[in-house]
């Protein structure tokens, strides 16, 4: 370690080179001391604290060189997989360009905005670039207020739009909201898929925007009824409210079309993007809107700087995004995703017929949710094993995490449960996943389902302590 004297006296700094060769225990110790200690505990309970040392495509490797398959895909941020060589090469191509230079206009962001506009549904024309999905949502909410002159937002129950104040205010899960109230108001929730409830709110004509995910991600991979999104958009137009489509997780090919909206023939007024827009390498977000809304909001020189971002639209992030879009289109990954998705979903439905523990299979393209039965339903089999109420409650609530733990520890497959519904595991592999890799997932899942009494009996013994510790962390 090198010692540097600075104003704060002597500090001990760890160099990048030292960090890259650090052992597992040291990594864990530093995380526990300087980062999120409870998260470290939570991850180590299900052995999710393995440090991985390299990654390529769908594969990640631990220190022993063992391969794990990433079916979590960073919640939809790895549509092109880990460390895509052409994305890394794109970063090299711009490495001598100015990266952060606000007093100029960049060719790379210009090209990206042009390309997004030509891909996007309807008359979405103008882009604003930022660094994350939550920031894209914040920008969209502010745009809706200034463009309409109204203040109220409508969102859906069980939705997820981010954890910054504005995005959290329109996220339909109390668990994330309660500790931070009062939030941005007025903001009101309606049931996802319920047009009457939406119309009742909109017809007061005080709503700036309705924000909605085309498929709810954290809600447990929930698709709305057919025609819901298009009808919701018509209602918004009728009552002078803007329709914001949050495609942060569904965008960039994830559901089998470049945007999920296009499958439903929906033309949003504002569309939010992030996650895979950065090619799995850079933090990158954007919202798109129409020329008309943009002009209403920021169309004069005095209003041009009302919403800006220091890092938004930087050269490196835009280069990654430009190359990402090119690869998705050139490799026909939307169509491939549609085909792989229908293969995966039909195979999963076969497993569902064989194993009652698998309660439901949902999704579109490679955005798939598996919902598990709560073990209580089969009380006869397991009642002896679930003696403690707390164990029972948590096994119900965390069935998804128990299955995810089995997939990880026994089969080296990375998945995770959805934030708003811990009984649902999400399957969101990179779109470049092979059929052979999909078959490895299916075989692993079948093995877990076939032997589920085995891992549920763990709940009776060793997992008691784990689960009671989990209840304290919650």
Answering whether pTM is above 0.85, one says: yes
Rounded-to-integer distance, Cα 345 and Cα 363, Å: 8
Average pLDDT, the chain: 90
Each residue's pLDDT tens digit, 215-227: 999 999 999 999 9
**431 phi and psi, to 5 degrees?**
-65, -15
Q: What percent of the chain has pLDDT over 70?
A: 88
Is residue 468 over pLDDT 60?
no
**CATH code reported for the domain at 333-473:** 3.90.1150.10
* C-alpha span between 210 and 124 (Å, rounded): 17
Residue position matching structure tokens 């960073």: 74
Q: Which residues contact 198 (CB under 8 A, 6 or more apart)?
A: 154, 190, 210, 232, 235
Whether the CB-CB separation of 378 and 400 falls below 8 Å is answered with no
For residue 8, what pLDDT band results from cuts at 50, 70 and 90? low
Q: What is the mean pLDDT of residues 196-209?
A: 98
Q: Is the pLDDT of residue 389 over 70?
A: no
SS3 331: coil
Confidence band of 386 (pLDDT split at 50, 70, 90) = very low
Cα angle, residue 285 at apex, residues 88 and 254 outer, rounded to 5°: 75
Give the model's pLDDT for residue 363: 97
Which residues are CB-neighbours of 451 under 8 A, at least 6 positions away?
none
Residues listed for the chain: 474
Residues of the chain with CATH 3.90.1150.10: 333-473
Q: Note the Cα 416 to chain centre separation in Å.
A: 11
Stretch 170-197: mean pLDDT, rounded?
Answer: 97
Task: Give the model's pLDDT for residue 38.
Answer: 87
Rg of the chain over Cα atoms, rounded to whole angstroms, equals: 23
If you average pLDDT over residues 412-440, what whole number do you get?
Answer: 92
Residue 6, pLDDT score: 58
pLDDT tens-digit profile of 86-145? 999 999 999 998 888 877 789 999 999 999 999 999 999 999 999 999 999 999 999 999
Report the alpha-carbon distance of residue 470 to residue 474 in Å, rounded. 6
Smallest Cα–Cα separation from 259: which of 220, 218, 302, 288?
288
pLDDT for 144 equals 98
pLDDT at site 5 = 52
- The answer to whether residues 54 and 60 touch, using CB atoms and an 8 Å cutoff, is yes
Of 233-242, 378-387, 448-457, give the range with the top mean pLDDT: 233-242
Query: For the structural domain made of 86-330, what CATH number should be given?
Result: 3.40.640.10
Q: Is the pLDDT of residue 156 over 50?
A: yes
Write down the pLDDT at residue 51: 85
Residue range(s) occupied by CATH 3.40.640.10 in the chain? 86-330
Q: If you search the block for the tokens 């329709």, which residue do you land on? A: 243
What is the arithmetic mean of pLDDT over 187-191?
98
- Give the pLDDT of residue 420: 78
Q: pLDDT over 90 for what percent of the chain?
A: 77
Q: At 39, is the pLDDT very low, low, confident or very high (cuts 50, 70, 90)?
A: confident
Residue 395: predicted pLDDT: 60
User: Average of pLDDT values for 312-331?
Assistant: 97
Residue with tokens 């079309």: 257
């Amino acid at each position: 370690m090198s010692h540097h004297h600075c104003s704060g006296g002597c500090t001990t700094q760890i160099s990048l080179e030292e960090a890259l060769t650090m052992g597992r225990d040291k990594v864990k110790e530093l995380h526990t001391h300087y980062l999120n200690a409870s998260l470290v505990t939570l991850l180590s309970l299900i052995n999710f604290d393995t440090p991985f040392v390299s990654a390529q495509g769908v594969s990640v490797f631990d220190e022993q060189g063992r391969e794990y398959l990433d079916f979590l895909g960073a919640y939809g941020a790895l549509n092109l997989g880990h460390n895509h060589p052409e994305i890394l090469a794109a970063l090299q191509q711009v490495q001598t360009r100015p990266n952060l230079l606000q007093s100029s206009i960049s060719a790379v962001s210009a090209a990206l905005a042009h390309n997004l506009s030509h891909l996007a549904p309807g008359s979405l024309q103008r882009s604003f670039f930022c660094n994350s999905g939550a920031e894209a949502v914040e920008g969209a909410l502010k745009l809706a207020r200034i463009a309409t002159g109204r203040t109220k937002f409508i969102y859906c129950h069980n939705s997820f739009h981010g954890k910054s104040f504005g995005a959290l205010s329109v996220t339909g899960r109390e668990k994330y909201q309660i500790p931070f109230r009062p939030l941005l108001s007025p903001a009101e929730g309606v049931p996802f898929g319920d047009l009457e409830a939406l119309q009742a709110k909109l017809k007061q004509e005080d709503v700036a925007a309705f924000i909605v995910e085309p498929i709810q991600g954290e809600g447990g991979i929930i698709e709305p009824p057919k025609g819901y999104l298009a009808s919701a958009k018509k209602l918004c137009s009728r009552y002078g409210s803007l329709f914001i489509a949050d495609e942060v997780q569904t965008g960039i090919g994830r559901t089998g079309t470049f945007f999920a909206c296009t499958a439903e023939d929906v033309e949003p007024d504002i569309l939010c993007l992030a996650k895979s827009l950065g090619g799995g390498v850079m933090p990158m977000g954007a919202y798109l809107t129409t020329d008309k809304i943009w002009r209403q909001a920021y169309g004069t020189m005095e209003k041009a700087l009302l919403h800006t971002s220091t890092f938004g639209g930087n050269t490196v992030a835009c280069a990654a995004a430009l190359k990402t879009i090119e690869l998705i289109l050139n490799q026909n990954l939307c169509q491939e995703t549609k085909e792989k998705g229908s293969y995966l979903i039909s195979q999963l439905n076969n497993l569902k017929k064989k194993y009652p523990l698998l309660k439901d299979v949902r999704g579109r393209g490679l955005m798939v949710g598996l919902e598990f039965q709560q073990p209580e339903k089969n009380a006869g089999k397991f009642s002896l094993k679930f003696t403690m109420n707390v164990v029972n409650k948590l096994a119900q609530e965390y069935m998804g995490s128990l299955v995810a733990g089995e997939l990880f520890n026994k089969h080296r497959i990375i998945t995770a449960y959805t934030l708003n519904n811990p009984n649902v595991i999400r399957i969101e592999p990179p779109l470049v996943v092979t059929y052979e890799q999909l078959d490895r997932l299916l075989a692993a899942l079948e093995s877990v389902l076939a032997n589920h009494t085995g891992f549920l009996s763990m709940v009776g013994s060793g997992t008691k302590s784990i689960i009671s510790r989990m209840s304290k962390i919650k």
